Amino acid sequence: MSKPSSRRNRTSSGKAAREASAKTAGPREENTDASTATSTSPSGVKKSSWLPALEDEAPPPAAVERGALLVTEGLVKDYGDGLGLRGIDLLVDRGELVMLVGPNGAGKSTLLGLAAGLIEPTAGRVFAGGFKAGTIEARAATSYIPDAPVLYEDLSVREHIEYIARLHNTADWEEYGAELLEMFRLSDRADDLPTTFSRGLKQKTALIIGLIRPFDLLLIDEPFVGLDTPGQETLVEVLADLVDQGASVFCSTHQLDLLPKATRCVGLRDGELEYDGAPSAEKIRALVGG
């Protein structure tokens, strides 16, 4: 089984490229119209200059400045009937493959949703890809694959690939898409509607869609559920290859097949950080069932 080449699994240019662009860019004309002027906050959030400063516009953490791809500070999520997260401090550097584990209700999906910018925190801050989560810049640097596949009913697999690839300006997407289809054994179903698929085939489609676009940080929630053995093996290879190329993967899973490739394990329990350290089968079993 061939692994995707570094030419194909492109990570997004990230902060370094943006800084390089800023250094080489020529002078630009100043906009003096107060009704349209904009500025960028220290957290990387673009806003109109006439808006009042927000309280959370403190400079980003030092870890963000030095290139960490996921940083949380005192992250809290209160759903009203209970706390989903209770003050999580976490840092994921470039090139890490982190297994996120814990029992049901531990807060894993909440943490991923906050990192993806899909959920608003009650307190604390979260930065993804070098920017405040939920901003355009953070979304451009982050690919999020939820636990339940989200697919369009009237698009074929191939049309899904084209739509997402063009949306994110993916270079050579046709060749890369064909390779992903072959790797996940979906080439013969590429023109079918995913609504006719089994849970496993829908999961493979969702994975391909999440992988077709450039990103620096991949957030992925229980990706092995429903996959057959070849699909699981392919996913392990792809995730390891992404990390080798400099991306970071933050993956909620108890799948021990990923263990040899993981660089770290983060365990949650009742919304709190229970463990952050070296991964092992014994530790994962204890965090899940202990």
Average pLDDT of span 179-203: 96
The span from the CA of 69 to the CA of 218, in Å, is 10
Q: Which domains does the chain have, with CATH numbers?
A: 37-289 (3.40.50.300)
The span from the CA of 75 to the CA of 72, in Å, is 6
pLDDT in tens, 32-56: 343 334 444 444 444 434 334 444 5
Q: Quickly state the pLDDT bin for 83 (edges 50, 70, 90).
A: confident
Phi and psi at 136, nearest 5°, equal -60, -40
Q: What is the mean pLDDT of the chain?
A: 85
The span from the CA of 256 to the CA of 54, in Å, is 44
pLDDT in tens, 109-137: 999 999 999 999 999 999 999 999 999 99
pLDDT in tens, 231-258: 999 999 999 999 999 999 999 999 999 9
Q: How many CB atoms lie within 10 A of CB 109?
A: 18
The span from the CA of 43 to the CA of 58, in Å, is 7
The span from the CA of 69 to the CA of 153, in Å, is 33
Please say if the pLDDT value at position 142 is more than 60.
yes
Q: Which residues contact 23 (CB under 8 A, 6 or more apart)?
A: none
